[in-house]
Amino acid sequence: MEWINKSKILIVGLGLMGGSYAKALKRMGYHILAIDAKEESISYALEHGIIDEGAAFPEEALISQADTIIFALYPTLICDWIKENQKFFKSGIRITDVTGIKTAIVYDIQSVLREDVEFIAAHPMAGREVYGVENADDRMFRNANYIVVPTEKNTEEAIRWCEGLGRILGFWKVAVLSPEEHDEMIGYLSQLTHCIAVCLMTSNDNPHLSEYTGDSFRDLTRIARINENMWTELFFMNKEALLKSMDGFIDELCELRDEIRREDAEAIKEKMRLSTKRRALFDKNNS
Amino acid sequence: MEWINKSKILIVGLGLMGGSYAKALKRMGYHILAIDAKEESISYALEHGIIDEGAAFPEEALISQADTIIFALYPTLICDWIKENQKFFKSGIRITDVTGIKTAIVYDIQSVLREDVEFIAAHPMAGREVYGVENADDRMFRNANYIVVPTEKNTEEAIRWCEGLGRILGFWKVAVLSPEEHDEMIGYLSQLTHCIAVCLMTSNDNPHLSEYTGDSFRDLTRIARINENMWTELFFMNKEALLKSMDGFIDELCELRDEIRREDAEAIKEKMRLSTKRRALFDKNNS
């Protein structure tokens, strides 16, 4: 198992997610390198023992040591970063990422990448409503899913390797999906829910709501504190799947509204029984 | 302060909420009487020391002892129960409830009630996705709001008394709203969120969703396990306010969908900044 060779791992982009990866992997004994444009993030991580070496620019000396590279950058930046810096990559290394959408980037990355290096995409389905390496905390992986997202270009070895990475990071469950399956699923489970949370906060301007709110509203809007640049980018990169999810959900909610309007109790109860049954399965499967 | 007179409290309807009230009040030293049509609920509560006396029908001997009556029944049942049994009420007692909607019931109750007895409505904004006295647990009150909902018929003394009840039950915050304000607020914060949670579960029939779901989807659908009879009744009794909330939310979500469709990044980011700002205020105020 390659993860036993205490190899060197380079994390590009040292924010909340990159920092949490660094913490988990450093504890396992790996030598952690990091590159982040924010000088303070690197200093903080060095001072707090989160990484072993770091730089605020793509330094050859750092990149060329890496046996593994993990991209935790904004999705649109990864491909250009690779184009500019892959000349420094050691031959035969493996690269992965943490990006929340896949079809819009994975094929592009694989097509520009050097032939002697393999990129295998992954999506750690974990997050918090805070940012930066200062808030890094790999405990958020414990109850979360890790999804390996291979294309036809990937080798079986790389897929197994990436599943292993998810496991040593401490994820609760590791799964494999195609980029298309992944994006459709994420459009529904993650992007649609963020749209709903945002709209729950913006569609009512009563300043007293927060004084009376109960647990359910708090739960539904926790993710309404949102990084607008990253999420707008993610929405556009998965536009088709997200719009399909939104259309389906809006249709369903309009149907329920019409059932309430005409007091069709049986139709409403039927929906509630279905939702209760499906949600019970979630609790059984997940928590 | 009247709550010091260890008086007798009758709870009518001994489910999750009635049982949780019983636990909290019994611990404070009150003598707890209970009536519930389910014989097993009464036996369970007696065996587990949750109540002192109980009956499975409206027994005169029990009702006539009560200094306070708390209704934790289905909303549509309260008025009839009062009409049939108020002949047993001691003169001068106070009555309150736990119902999630107010305009549809409070005025009716006050108009049928004997002149020598006062009904002051209240809504404990707490709940769990389980039912029955077996799951009663007054810890759910700790982070929750308790709303006293007086009409013009209520006395200042009864309002203060009802606020005191919220406090001794252990609620985090006690507030006062009119029935109309309450119902508008609840239509948005509670009923709309339950509609959303239900539709999130019913608008996608992919059986694998639960395998990949992250925290955000789990949070948004926790309340999708729902008592269909009670909630359908609550929806109909607050139909106007709920439909207004649903219309506003659907309009906002459609607007966001159209912004995503035409890739209007600035409009989307503006919504996200507003939602982030408003949600941050919630965290400050509430948890």
Could you count the other beta carbons within 10 Å of the beta carbon of residue B287? 11
Please give the share of chain B, as a percent, with pLDDT higher than 70.
97
- Asked if A103 and A131 sit in the same domain, the reply is yes
Q: Identify the residue with better confidence: A5 or B228.
A: B228
In the prediction, which pLDDT does B69 show? 98
Across the interface, which of B189, B200, B251 has its CB nearest the CB of A249? B200
- Asked if A66 and A204 sit in the same domain, the reply is no
Q: Are A78 and A54 in contact (CB under 8 A)?
A: no
**Chain B partners of A261 at a C-beta cutoff of 8 Å?**
239, 243
Mean pLDDT by 10 residues, chain A (287 residues): 69 97 94 97 97 97 97 94 98 96 96 97 88 92 93 97 95 94 94 96 86 83 92 94 97 98 98 94 62
Instruction: Express each pLDDT in B49-106 by its tens digit.
Output: 999 999 999 999 999 999 999 999 988 899 999 999 999 999 999 999 999 999 999 9
- Asked if B278 and B137 sit in the same domain, the reply is no
- Asked if B9 and B140 sit in the same domain, the reply is yes
d(Cα A248, Cα B203) in Å, to the nearest integer? Answer: 6
CA distance A41 to chain B (A): 23
In the prediction, which pLDDT does B285 show? 53
**Which of B177, B192, B208 is the C-terminal boundary of a domain?**
B177
- Asked if B230 and B118 sit in the same domain, the reply is no
- Asked if A146 and A29 sit in the same domain, the reply is yes
CATH number of the domain within which B151 lies: 3.40.50.720
- Asked if B195 and B134 sit in the same domain, the reply is no
Q: Are B18 and B98 in contact (CB under 8 A)?
A: yes
Closest residue in B to A274 (Cα) is B202
**Chain B partners of A257 at a C-beta cutoff of 8 Å?**
195, 243, 246-247, 250
Please give the share of chain B, as a percent, with pLDDT higher than 90.
81
Domains of chain B: total: 2
* Helices marked H in A34-73: 39-47, 60-63
Kindly tell me the burial class for residue A166, based on how many C-beta atoms sit within 10 Å of its own C-beta (0-12, 13-18, 19 or more).
buried
Residue B167 has, within 13 A of its CA and on its CB side, a CA count of 10
* Inter-chain CB pairs, A–B, below 8 Å: 293
Could you count the other beta carbons within 10 Å of the beta carbon of residue A267? 16
Are B280 and A213 in contact (CB < 8 Å)?
no
pLDDT (average), residues B231-252? 96
In the prediction, which pLDDT does B106 show? 97
d(Cα A157, Cα B144) in Å, to the nearest integer? Answer: 52
In the prediction, which pLDDT does A283 show? 72
In the prediction, which pLDDT does B5 show? 53
- Asked if B187 and B160 sit in the same domain, the reply is no
Closest residue in B to A182 (Cα) is B212
Closest residue in B to A258 (Cα) is B243
Across the interface, which of A198, A218, A254 has its CB nearest the CB of B282? A218
d(Cα A165, Cα A155) in Å, to the nearest integer? Answer: 15
pLDDT higher than 90, residue B206: no
* Full domain range(s) for residue B95: 2-177
d(Cα A55, Cα B156) in Å, to the nearest integer? Answer: 67
In the prediction, which pLDDT does A208 show? 80
Are B202 and A144 in contact (CB < 8 Å)?
no
- Asked if A196 and A164 sit in the same domain, the reply is no
In the prediction, which pLDDT does A215 show? 78
| Long-range Cβ contact pairs of B153-156 (< 8 A, separation 24 or more) | B153/B110, B154/B118, B154/B120, B155/B118
In the prediction, which pLDDT does A1 show? 41
pLDDT (average), residues B1-13? 76
**Which of A161, A177, A193 is the C-terminal boundary of a domain?**
A177
pLDDT band at B2 (very low <50, low <70, confident <90, very high): low
Instruction: Express each pLDDT in A15-60 by its tens digit.
Output: 999 999 999 999 989 999 999 999 999 999 999 999 999 999 999 9
In the prediction, which pLDDT does B252 show? 97
A-contacting residues of B 155-174, CB under 8 Å? 173
- Asked if B198 and B151 sit in the same domain, the reply is no
Could you count the other beta carbons within 10 Å of the beta carbon of residue A4? 7
- Asked if A133 and A272 sit in the same domain, the reply is no
- Asked if B57 and B82 sit in the same domain, the reply is yes
In the prediction, which pLDDT does B122 show? 98
Dihedral (Cα; B60, B62, B65, B67), 10-degree rounding: -110
**Which of B177, B207, B237 is the C-terminal boundary of a domain?**
B177
Could you count the other beta carbons within 10 Å of the beta carbon of residue A231? 20
